[in-house]
Amino acid sequence: MFKAIVLDKVEGRQQATFQELDESQLPAGDVTVRVTWTTMNYKDALALTGSAPIAKSYPMVPGIDFAGVVEHSDDPAFQPGDQVVLNGWGVGERHWGGMAEKARVPGQWLLPLQPPFTPRQAMGLGTAGYTAMLCVLALERQGVTPSAGPVLVTGATGGVGSVAVAVLARLGYQVAAMTGRPEEREFLQMLGATEIVDRAEYSAKGRPLASERWAAAIDVAGGRVLANVCAAMRYRGVVAACGLAAGMDFPATVAPFILRGVTLVGVESVMVPKEERLEAWRRLASDMEIDKLERLLTQVPFAQLLEQAPLMLQGQLRGRIVVPVCAE
């Protein structure tokens, strides 16, 4: 038997509860993992609260990330005792996820834990940190260098944003951090931000073109924020967009794209091919300072996850949440 958070539909409404499950109930897969650490991303908070239809079937164990130890493997790439990490692949949405003491998945979804990270630190990055690195790689592929000019990061106190600020600063970029929480100025400066931008400047309806300000941007907000960020890009600026915390709509015009040659790059993290995932994790291993990562982390007991999810959606949590599940 093992403990898990289970999402189910009761009288048409989603309910999240802690349950004891039998290993025979685990879904199909060729690798069984004892989950030692998990995390809570924004998508996980949506799933736990039922605020968005993240779970595609019921019952569902949420959690789009986990780190753990292989207990059984029919995949020759993994042996019992191997430390592994999983991000995405529909886990926690279509396939039981990481908010449980055990998980069973196809081996092709797993990656070996990348040194120097511990399982706790890997979950301190999780899908949020891995997505932040995908955004940095997207900017690099578009030719954005530190000499190009300032880079804006929206949602800078959140999981993706905080890692993006730290990585960009480590790489030598001039980083501007957007937040609606001015009390977090010192935290953002610790990560490496040289400028703090008030989110209110970008939340109201703006002009089709604003003054040229940013050479590049990483956006987790979407909605009106993303539209205003695009309007404020410099000539041939690049925006990597990976989130929708401020909405799914995009109330913009084509002006930034056809008058300034702005590039908008979509960054998706769930179905990224394995080699690109490995590249992102290897770059995190070299470009994310461990001491800064540790200062991003807040540890939450497994039993308190359901209480923390609404706080994340309300923007009351900063950095990354790490959750011990089983003893390592």
* CA 232 vs CA 10, 72, 150, 202, 213: distances in Å: 47, 52, 12, 10, 6
Task: From 322, 319, 321, select the one nearest 160 (Cα to Cα).
Answer: 319
- pTM score above 0.85: yes
Q: Does 246 score more than 90 pLDDT?
A: no
Residue finishing a domain among 247, 266, 285? 266
Helical spans, DSSP H, in 236-289: 255-259, 274-287
**Domain assignment of residue 137, given as a range:** 127-266
pLDDT at residue 59 in the model? 96
For 65, other C-beta atoms within 10 Å of its C-beta total: 30
Q: How many domains does the chain have?
A: 2
What does the angle CA 59 – CA 87 – CA 172 come to, to the nearest 5 degrees? 150
How many Å apart are CA 154 and CA 108, to the nearest integer?
A: 33
Amino acid letter, 41 = N
pLDDT at residue 12 in the model? 85
The CATH number given to whatever domain includes residue 76 is 3.90.180.10
Q: 117-130 pLDDT, tens per residue?
A: 999 999 999 999 99
Amino acid letter, 118 = T
* Tokens standing for residue 74: 């029919």
Q: Name which of 96-100, 121-125, 245-249, 252-256 the model is least confident about.
A: 245-249
The CATH number given to whatever domain includes residue 181 is 3.40.50.720
Is residue 30 within 8 A of residue 72, CB to CB? The reply is no
How many Å apart are CA 185 and CA 162, to the nearest integer?
A: 12
Residues 248 and 212 in one domain: yes
Q: 173-200 pLDDT, tens per residue?
A: 999 999 999 999 999 999 999 999 999 9
Residues 74 and 158 in one domain: no
Q: Does 327 score more than 80 pLDDT?
A: no
